[in-house]
Amino acid sequence: MKLAFVVDPLDSFKIYKDTTFAIMREAAARGHALYAMEQEDLTWRGGTVYGSARRLHLTGEKPHWHRTEEPATVPLRDFGAVLMRKDPPFDMEYVYSTYLLELAEAEGARVFNRPRGIRDWNEKMGIARFTRFTPPSLVTRREQLVREFLAEHRDVILKPLDGMGGASVFRVRHDDPNVNVIIETVTHHGRKTVMAQRYIPEIRDGDKRVLLIAGKPVPYCLARIPKPGETRGNLAVGATGVARELTARDREIAETLGPALQKEGLLLVGLDVVGDYLTEVNVTSPTCFQEITEQTGFNVAGMMLDALETALG
C-alpha cells in the first residue's frame, strides 16, 4: 500500500525520538511504500487535490537516514492513506491544509487524522467537553477575569490556546510581583484568548502523555518530569521522559474519551494527564512512541499500523 505523509522537512527529523519516523519505519518493515510531502506541496486544481510527493526510502543509516526520488504530482485519492503529521503551531496555514485534505476526502482519499477532527479539537479547548476530568479552568481574553481566577485559586498556569512544547506557559502565584505584566503579556493586553488552570502540584511526578490509538489506550504512558526549577513537563524544555503503566485513573480517562475521539476520525490522540486531571487533548501530531517502546518493549508503532491497516480494510 502507498502511504503518504504530510510532514515537516525530513532533514529536521530527530530520528532517535521522532514518532513519525517510528511509524514510517514500521510501515516500511511491513512492505508499504512511503511518500513524503510538505504543506506547500498540497494543491487544488481542476476539482482535484494533488500532492507533490517524493517516494521515500529509509536507509537504516545515520545521519543520512533517508533518500528520496524526484517528486511526482499525484491525486491524494491515489494513495492508500494520507497521514497528516505536520507539527504545530496550528496557524492559518495549518487550517488551509485541513481544508485541502478535507476536499481530498470528498474525492475518496483516506486521511488520518481526519481534517475536520483536527480543526474541531483545539488541543487546549478539547478538555472543555470532559469537565469531569479537568482541573478548575478558565478561557478568556479579559484580564480582569484572569486576575479573579488567580485570586480564587492562588496558584495557576496560564497558556495560549495555540502554543506547543511549553512555549509561553507561565506559572503565576497570587503574590507574584510580576502578575500584571505576565497577564498583559500572555493576553497581549486583552487581544488574545488564553487558558488558565489551577496549578496541579503532581506535575512534579510528571506530565503524563497517554496515547489513544483507534480509541484504545496504549498500556503505557510517558511521564515527562520537569527538570529542577522548571514547572513545564515538556520534553522540548528539558523534561525527562519515564515510561509507566497506566494508573486506574489514566485508564478511566482514556477509555471514556477514546470512543468519542475515534468517532471524530481521530486515529491517534495524545492525552496530557497531570495527577488525576486531564489538561490537554493533542490531535495534530502526538509523540512519545519511541520513548515508550525503548523503555517497555511495547511496540507502539506496531499498534498504530495494526489500527491503520484495520481502518483501511
Catalytic residue selected from 25, 114, 124, 198: 124
Strand partners, 44: 49
Catalytic residue selected from 86, 232, 250, 291: 232
Is 67 an annotated catalytic residue?
no
Is 209 an annotated catalytic residue?
yes
Helices and strands in the chain: count of H runs, count of E runs = 8, 18
Is 272 an annotated catalytic residue?
yes
Beta carbons within 10 angstroms of residue 223's beta carbon = 20
Catalytic residue selected from 113, 234, 282, 291: 282
Contact 164, 89 (CB under 8 A): yes
Is 306 an annotated catalytic residue?
no
- Hunting for cell 479573579 — which residue is that? 148
DSSP label at 197? E
Catalytic residue selected from 110, 159, 198, 208: 159
Catalytic residue selected from 26, 250, 272, 291: 272
Catalytic residue selected from 26, 250, 280, 291: 280
Catalytic residue selected from 122, 198, 209, 250: 209
Is 54 an annotated catalytic residue?
no
Task: Give just the sign of the alpha carbon dihedral 173, 177, 178, 181.
Answer: positive
Strands 42-45 and 66-68: unpaired
Classified as helix, coil or strand, 114 is coil
Is 122 an annotated catalytic residue?
no
Selection from 149, 233, 230, 225 nearest residue 158 by Cα:
149
Is 299 an annotated catalytic residue?
no
Catalytic residue selected from 18, 224, 234, 291: 224
Q: Which residues are catalytic?
A: 124, 159, 209, 224, 232, 272, 280, 282
